[in-house]
Amino acid sequence: MSLETELADGLQAFAAAQQKMLSSCSLDVFSVEAVFLNYLRLLQHWNKAFNLTAIRDDRGQVIRHLLDSLVILPFVSGDQIIDVGTGAGLPGIPLAICLPNQNFVLVDSNSKKTRFLTQAKVALGLQNLTVIHNRVDAIPAGGFDQVICRAFKPLESLVPAIKHLLKEDGVILAMLGKSPEADVLRQLELQATTRLWPLSVPGLQEERFLIEIRPRAECL
């Protein structure tokens, strides 16, 4: 199937899952379908030269990149959100497309990836997006309602590594490929209050989880 067909099918499945869950964050993803398509086309074009992602087939990119990003929409809130280690803009770009009234900062230390992100921002007309080429520890402290990260390892080092980015009542949203082990959760809970959410990505049989992390005041 073509990329257009894979995207249409994927969004249909995502919308059906939203309706089934009666999500309070029920968005009309079809209204931005053309922007999603342009993003995936741009990603495929740049991927030929810069190897931005190992996932190259149309179906894989729709499911593992786009839908895998969109499933955390119900958890995203606040005016200022930062996606650290964003790579090819995941989940930051799909979220910014869906949430034009919220500001997203995408950070990566790889200059090839941030060049792509800068081009994507212009090509997609994302006025609510800022791209930063830097290490996370070099980003000025404070200012963000939420920090989003994907597959951060080791998880027990997450809070010390990025807590400086948060406002006083800020939240870390950590996207995971599997549920954390009990001892890892115990270490996290010494630093923060946590809540683990199982996620279901349409078309993906593998496990996905999101852990909400609220650093304790003494850890900020």
SS3 112: helix
What pLDDT was estimated at residue 18?
Answer: 83
SS3 102: coil
- Residue in 49, 87, 43, 81 with CA at minimum distance from that of residue 62: 43
- Residue that has been written with the tokens 């949430």 in this structure: 99
- The burial class, CB within 10 Å (0-12 / 13-18 / 19+), for 100 is middle
Q: Above 80 in pLDDT, residue 25?
A: no
Which structural domain, as residue segments, surrounds residue 33?
Answer: 3-219
Q: Above 70 in pLDDT, residue 26?
A: no
Distance CA 70, CA 87 (A): 16
Number of domains in the chain: 1
In this predicted model, what pLDDT tens digit does every residue of 142-198 receive, in sequence order? 899 999 999 887 888 999 999 999 999 999 999 999 999 999 999 999 999 999 999
Q: Above 90 in pLDDT, residue 79?
A: yes
Which helix (H) or strand (E) element contains residue 104? Answer: strand 103-108
pTM as predicted: 0.94
- Residue that has been written with the tokens 């404070």 in this structure: 142
Token pair listed for 115: 């060049």
Q: Mean pLDDT for the chain?
A: 93
Distance CA 23, CA 198 (A): 14
Confidence of residue 20 (pLDDT cuts 50, 70, 90): confident
Answer left, alpha or beta for residue 152, where phi above 0 means left and psi between -120 and 50 means alpha.
Answer: beta
CATH number of domain containing 185? 3.40.50.150
The percent of residues above 90 in pLDDT, for the chain, comes to 85
- How far does CA 195 lie from the centroid of its chain? 18
Token pair listed for 113: 């990836």
In this predicted model, what pLDDT tens digit does every residue of 126-151 receive, in sequence order? 999 999 999 999 998 889 999 999 98
